[in-house]
Structure 1
Amino acid sequence: MSDQVSEEVRTFFEEFSRAGDTLDTTAISTQFADTFLSADPSGTQPVPRSAFLAALPAREKLFASIGVGSIHLTSLTETRLDDHYILVDTRWQGTPATPGGEPLDLSSAYILHRAPDGTLRIVFYLNHQDLREIVRARS
């Protein structure tokens, strides 16, 4: 992973990655705002945290359906926007579920908000790829 990131942001995303690997929705829920903006090439929409958490098992099955096993964080870069917001660019790689399979490279950006108590939460999530298009192309 990149060294251009603070320890608190690195720790946040290491925990985020671990929680995603194990589908620990309790841990994931602490990292998202009650409602956050989700964006991809098709547009932007507000998403209630509860709806996002409910969709995670289906997302895991979707990746499995195209031969992708676990997804690992490969790099982070951080840009502090002000005292309350941090832009984080991330790169991820989905490992093939079977030998000889093709890895899946993904990139996304997040805006984290620092609450008065210092807690970081995701308030904006941008998936640079259209996951539906990836599934169509790999199916």
Structure 2
Amino acid sequence: MPEIIPDGLRRFFDTFTQAGDGPDTDALAGCFAEAFLAGDAAGARPVPRSAFLAALPKRAGMFAEAGLRPAVLESLTCEDLDDHYTLARTTWTAERTAGGPPVHLSSSYLLHRDAEGAYRIVVYLNHQGLPL
């Protein structure tokens, strides 16, 4: 039986995905806490939202350099940890510009839900890097 994703979380990831395709930095700014923790194979580090948004053109360049189109969200699962935090696990697919098998990526997010029900990313974990 497929997992039921709460409407608010589904809307959050719809906004996050669409904003990332642009990138629409104003919409993406609303998806992240003022400061969040970013983690990958190299470790974890605190990131100011403004620094992350300023780095987005470099990220788009890394995808282009790797010969990849923007990633498309393929799956989303979630687990409420308590009344304020949700762990979301995602898989993404990026098609290759030159053809061939797509690249599969996965990320996990710890999201904080405020009193109004708005989600913000407080931890962003990339499970693997881009192939170069």
- TM-score under structure 1 normalisation? 0.89
- 8 Å contact kept, 1:67–1:101: no
Work out the number of aligned pairs and report it.
131
Question: Which SS does the other structure have where 2:95 is aligned?
Answer: strand
Aligned partners of 1:112 and 1:120 also within 8 Å: yes
**Structure 1 stretch 82-91 or stretch 4-13: which is displaced more?**
4-13
Note the residue ranges of structure 2 that are not aligned, 5 or more in a row: none
Partner of 1:102: 101
Question: Post-superposition shift, 1:7?
Answer: 1.6
Residues 4, 76 of structure 1: 8 Å contact kept = no
> How far apart are 1:117 and its partner, in Å?
2.3
Quote the sequence identity (%).
49
In structure 2, the residue matched to 1:127 is 126
Question: What does residue 70 of structure 2 align with?
Answer: 70
Deviation, structure 1 residue 101? 3.5
Partner of 1:112: 111
Shift of residue 64 of structure 1? 0.5
Q: Any residues of structure 2 matched to 1:1-40 within 5 Å, and which?
A: 3-40=3-40
- Code of the residue aligned with 1:49 in structure 2: it is R
Q: CA RMSD in A?
A: 1.2
**Paired residue for 1:46?**
46
| Partners of 2:114 and 2:29 in 1: CA distance | 15
Give the letter for the 1:50 counterpart.
Answer: S
Separation in 2, partners of 1:26, 1:95? 26
Alpha-carbon distance in structure 2 between the residues aligned to 1:84 and 1:106: 27
Whether contact under 8 Å (1:37, 1:123) holds in the other structure is: yes
**If each structure's helix is expressed as a fraction of its own residues, which one has the higher value?**
1
Question: Offset at 1:14?
Answer: 1.2
**2:118 aligned partner, one-letter code:** T
C-alpha distance in 2 between matches for 1:103 and 1:61? 18
CA distance in 2, matches of 1:7, 1:32: 19
